[in-house]
Structure formats: C-alpha cells, structure tokens
Structure 1
Amino acid sequence: MKLKLTPTQNLCVGFLESGYKLIQSDEQFFFVKGDRKQKVLPKTLEALVNRGALSHKQDGSYCLTDEFIEHRKRMKYPNDPDHHTKH
C-alpha cells in the first residue's frame, strides 16, 4: 500500500470518512450526502484503488479498505496505543 496521497485523493478519502456515499451516474462519479454533491474523476478513484486506500467491490461500489482505515487511525493518534487496535 502506498500511503502518500495527493491533496485530491485526501479530499476523496475525507468525503468517505465523513459519511458521503459514492455513486455513479452514467459515466460520472459523485460523492453525495443530503443535498450536497461533488464530482470525482474515475482516474482519481482508480489511483486510490491502486494505492490500497479503496477497494472496488464486485457490485461496482467502492469503500475504504480496512488496512487504510487502520493506517489513518495510526496517523491521527500516533501516541495512543488504544487507537492502534480494532475495537
């Protein structure tokens, strides 16, 4: 897993972490939450999959990988061992 993300990739991860859903409409992808909608390019999603941050499921949906979620927890709480284990 390549852990360094671009600002755009970090923004996409932030959308998913804050409860946005990723939907596809025709050939375009959007993060959607309530009335809010933000377009995301397919190449950005592909890059996140290649870096190990997202997984692309058989049903066509995307989600953050468990490994990436754990990495984010370690980065957010580097000195707190309680956040390094799964609850």
Structure 2
Amino acid sequence: MGLWGSIWQAAKETGEQALKSVDSALDSARTSMEQHESAHNQGMEDLLSQFMAGNPNLTADQKAQLRKFAFKTGKLPTMSDLEPPIPPAK
C-alpha cells in the first residue's frame, strides 16, 4: 500500500470511528428521551387516575395538561370532563 493508500485507510478508519461515536450518542439520547417520555406518561396516568377517582383539587395547569394528554392518548371518553364548570344562570 502506498502513501495515498495509507492516508485513505487512516481516513476511512477515523470516519468509521466517528460514525460509531455518533451512533452511540444518538442511541443514548434516544434512550434518555424514551425514559423521560415514559416517566411523563406515568405521571400523567397517575394524575388522570386521581381525577377519575374524583380528586377535585387539581390545578388549572394540571387540568390543561390532562386535556392535552387525554387528547393525545384518547384516555377520557369526553373532553368536557376536564372543562371548568359553567356557573348556574341567575
């Protein structure tokens, strides 16, 4: 192998190592993201369970998060369950 062949081989090996590093970093990021999403979904499931069990102490922010989660997952039969009550007419 000549000089250019050696340079080519070294560049190829360096590129392959770089690709392996990028693949590893992407796998790590993907795993971290999946764990975060799983933890978030579990928290939302817990919040939804509290709501469905009749916990009236949910904040407006929690109800808004539940509306988004319910829409995304189809967990609630009706979205009106999470809407603020309409005050009675006087």
Query: What is the TM-score normalised by the length of structure 2?
Result: 0.33
Higher alpha-carbon Rg? 2
Query: What is the TM-score normalised by the length of structure 1?
Result: 0.34
